[in-house]
Structure 1
Amino acid sequence: MTEPAAPQPPAWWIYRGDGVPHNGIERLPDPPSWRPLQQGMPPQDEPVPPQPADTRRGRVFQVDHGLVDAVNAALLLRRPLLLTGRPGTGKSTLAHAVAYELGLGPVLHWPVTSRTTLRDGLYAYDAIGRLHEANLRRAGLETGEGTGDIGRFLRLGPLGTALLPRRRPRVLLVDELDKSDIDLPNDLLTVFEEGRFTVEELLRLPPEQRTVPVRTADGLSAPVTDGEVECWAFPFVVITSNEEREFPAAFARRCLRYDIEQPGPDRLAAIVAAHLGADALEEAAPLVEAFLAEQSNGSVAVDQLLSAIQLARAGADEDPEQWQDLLRTLWRHLETGP
């Protein structure tokens, strides 16, 4: 008896969520009329980042139908995808899964803290290093080709690199934006709306230096002309939040929001099989049941379950009493702290 054929994904989906690489990004339609970011001819040649997409994280990520819908909506509408939920639910991993399946290169990762500013994401300028070089040159101690090249003292950040003009979008992960200063979400509005920014230090250069090569966040070099960086294909932006605070309405309105729930039994089984193999499911069944009970009492993360299964398979559960003590250590609820 033949098995029924797997259901076909909806025709409008670009990202399928099955972890199988494909070239579906080539079917991405033009942006809507209210998001006219692509101007002129697409770039012909794209430099290849030195590292490929994270194969391991991208291949094993388990995604539900609703989240795949949200990813494809964000891709088609050219809007950031705001993912909320408890720690350990896979919010950050989604960016790697999309980059791996659609062949968009390594994820540009921008971790956010309370001290992070918009400038940190766009670019950094080593003014002290350039001044030091100028002093050496005046003293006759600095020679060689490239002396005085301002591009050597500029480095685009993850956001700035994601906005470089490319035929294919890059994937940008803005991690834990809820930890930021209160002004950062509003500062991002213009950049996300216009898909462009200005490198102020390049505006002061003479006409013969209109185009300057600058370093990028992924170890390459890219030309910047007249100090302007403007994307051709809007990046796929994943913004994560542990819901430590609310975002301004103007910012939230420009994002697509999806709340990732704690995984249930079926998804937990799929996650265990993806990471540890199908043969681990049967012996892990008691731990999965215990983990689900812990979820109802507080916040525990999937990686805590995987750690417990890995230790049990190594024999750490031979002494039942010591094993229960170890489980209490492994499954300490995240909101209780140390």
Structure 2
Amino acid sequence: MKFPFYVGGRTRHENELPVKLPTFQRSQLLKPENYIPDPGLRDACNVALLLGQPLLLTGEPGTGKTQFAYSLAWELGFGTPLKFETKSTSTARDLFYTYDALKRFQDIQNHSTSAKLLDYINYQALGLAILRTREPSEVSQYLPPELLHKQKIRSVVIIDEIDKAPRDFCNDVLNELEHIYFRVLELGNEKIEADPELQPIVIITSNSEKDLPDAFLRRCIYYNLPFPDVKSLQEIITNHLGTYVGNSSPFLQAALDLFYRLRAPQSGLRKKPATAELLSWLIILQRFTGDIDNPFTQPDKFLRTLSILIKTAEDQQKATKIVEQWIQEQTRASQNG
């Protein structure tokens, strides 16, 4: 397959259109079976499972907080996790369901009101997980036929980036998270509780952009994901990209050396590259340099891939200087060696 795909030459090859692009290799990075947790994370997870409490994960973006939930669900056989994307406007009810009052009002104005309030209710991750722990016959009045499960099951729920929510959000869901229940007010005021034997496993992530309430923290098992050391990061890379990089290869060693140079405090970068960006960078490096054994022998080409690692204009300028200096050091070392 020809690469690069886009050359900006103001011409196109009509007989080759539309261009066939490769399967996105980044999907390989998201396979839950390739996730490698550190021992502390495994211990914290097992404590949360034993106590039936939410597991709160913090750590810088890109360290695998969300991906851990997919690994957990895959290993324990609970299917794909149900994910709630926290927003700055999220309320406690949004965690369970949303009610589209505006659409219903518009339908009333247009004389096209549905006879079913259920048509205006959309269940969110935790609400759907709770409903799935009950027998279908017990919750059929709350779910449309297409969402009604065949048998009760346990689910893994991700509440992602909870620090984005208003501060009251955490306080408002304390009891619901501890006892795992909710009410659909539009369909009555009956409490819908999770089956204790199938209580959803709740994984909460935070980028620590703001502090969470103490009362909320007391109800969670907490773990901060540290950034991997060189040995751990090498293991993660070879586990995900074994077909692209060889363990302890010159390519991998050079990539890690430069990567940690960019992450060093003295680099001055405002947003330092993380593990997820490193993995994507390694994949594209070999494509940009023609799949040679060590792409770092072609520094002019890998400079063009920095946009994967560096995400601000200010950092781009700093990173370019760091890389150019690193190239000079590598060149001198190879000449002296």
With structure 2 as the length reference, what TM-score do the two structures score? Answer: 0.68
2:253 to 285, 292, 311: 285
Could you say if the C-alpha distance between residues 128 and 243 of structure 1 is closer, same or farther in structure 2, counting changes exceeding 3 Å?
closer
Q: Pairwise mapping of residues 1-338 of structure 1 onto structure 2 (< 5 A)?
A: 56-130=30-104, 148-164=115-131, 166=133, 168-203=153-188, 227-232=190-195, 233-277=198-242, 280-281=245-246, 282=249, 283-297=251-265, 299-316=272-289, 317=295, 320-323=298-301, 325-332=303-310
Gaps of 5+ in 1: 1-53, 204-225
Distance 1:128 1:175 in 2: 26
Amino acid at match of 1:102: L
In percent, how many aligned pairs have the same letter? 32
Distance 1:235 1:122 in 2: 13
Residues 135-179 of structure 1, C-alpha deviation per residue, up to 9 Å, x if partnerless? 77xx7x88xxxx623223222111211222525421111111111
Match of 2:335 in 1: none
Match of 1:14 in 2: none
Per the TM alignment, residue 327 of structure 1 is displaced from its structure 2 partner at its CA by 5.0
Amino acid at match of 2:275: V
Distance 2:205 2:253 in 1: 30
Amino acid at match of 1:88: G
Per the TM alignment, residue 58 of structure 1 is displaced from its structure 2 partner at its CA by 1.1
After superposition, the CA RMSD in angstroms is 2.8
Amino acid at match of 2:99: Y
Amino acid at match of 1:306: L
Could you say if the C-alpha distance between residues 285 and 163 of structure 1 is closer, same or farther in structure 2, counting changes exceeding 3 Å?
same
Gaps of 5+ in 2: 1-27, 134-151, 290-294, 317-337
Per the TM alignment, residue 127 of structure 1 is displaced from its structure 2 partner at its CA by 3.4
Answer yes or no: is the 8 Å Cα contact 1:133–1:148 preserved in 2.
Answer: no
Per the TM alignment, residue 290 of structure 1 is displaced from its structure 2 partner at its CA by 1.6
Distance 1:91 1:335 in 2: 27
Amino acid at match of 2:213: P
Answer yes or no: is the 8 Å Cα contact 1:130–1:148 preserved in 2.
Answer: no
Per the TM alignment, residue 296 of structure 1 is displaced from its structure 2 partner at its CA by 2.3
Answer yes or no: is the 8 Å Cα contact 1:165–1:230 preserved in 2.
Answer: no
Residues 41-88 of structure 1, C-alpha deviation per residue, up to 9 Å, x if partnerless? xxxxxxxxxxxxx99531111111111111111111111111011111
Q: More helix per residue: 1 or 2?
A: 2
Per the TM alignment, residue 279 of structure 1 is displaced from its structure 2 partner at its CA by 5.8
Per the TM alignment, residue 321 of structure 1 is displaced from its structure 2 partner at its CA by 4.3
Amino acid at match of 2:187: L
With structure 1 as the length reference, what TM-score do the two structures score? Answer: 0.68
Residues 101-158 of structure 1, C-alpha deviation per residue, up to 9 Å, x if partnerless? 111111111111211111222112233544566677xx7x88xxxx623223222111
Look at both structures and tell me which one has the larger radius of gyration over its CA atoms: 2
